[in-house]
């Protein structure tokens, strides 16, 4: 990252797609300053089996974390994720850019 021109870096849009179990695909898009979109193919709401849904959701969370680590690195900060069931917060995660070993 070129620290001499942070505005150029911060205006970068990021789009990534991830293959998930059972032929699902999720695409994440982040555009500064605060636009975040998620697209699914096919629609996961059609999934009926709880075990299959849990496996898909775990893979989705891993993909989301990988994507948001890239966003955190670009913005030079952390990203807060709140998972909800539309009634209450059911999970939280603070995602930082990955550290280099």
Phi, psi for residue 68 in degrees, rounded to 5 = -70, -25
pLDDT > 50? residue 87: yes
Residue 98's pLDDT band, with cuts at 50, 70 and 90, is: confident
In tens, the pLDDT along 4-14 reads 444 545 568 99
Q: What percent of the chain is predicted at pLDDT more than 70? A: 87
pLDDT > 60? residue 1: no
d(CA 65, CA 69): 6
pTM here is: 0.82
In tens, the pLDDT along 65-77 reads 999 999 999 989 9
pLDDT > 90? residue 99: no
Q: Are strands 24-31 and 89-95 parallel, antiparallel or unpaired?
A: unpaired
d(CA 40, CA 32): 21
Each domain of the chain, given as residue ranges in start order, spans 6-95
d(CA 90, CA 54): 15
Give the mean model confidence (pLDDT) for residues 45-58: 88
Q: CA angle, corner 45, sides to 43 and 49, nearest 5?
A: 120
User: Helices in the chain by DSSP H: which ranges?
Assistant: 6-10, 50-75
């Amino acid at each position: 990252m070129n620290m001499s021109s942070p505005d150029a870096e911060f205006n970068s849009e990021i789009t990534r797609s991830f293959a998930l179990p059972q032929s699902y695909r999720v695409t994440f898009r982040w555009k500064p300053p605060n636009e975040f979109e998620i697209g699914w193919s096919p629609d996961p709401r059609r999934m009926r089996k709880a075990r299959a849904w849990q496996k898909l959701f775990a893979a989705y969370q891993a993909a989301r974390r990988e994507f948001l680590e890239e966003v955190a690195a670009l913005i030079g900060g952390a990203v807060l994720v709140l998972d909800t069931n539309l009634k209450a917060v059911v999970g939280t995660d603070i995602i930082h850019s990955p550290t280099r070993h």
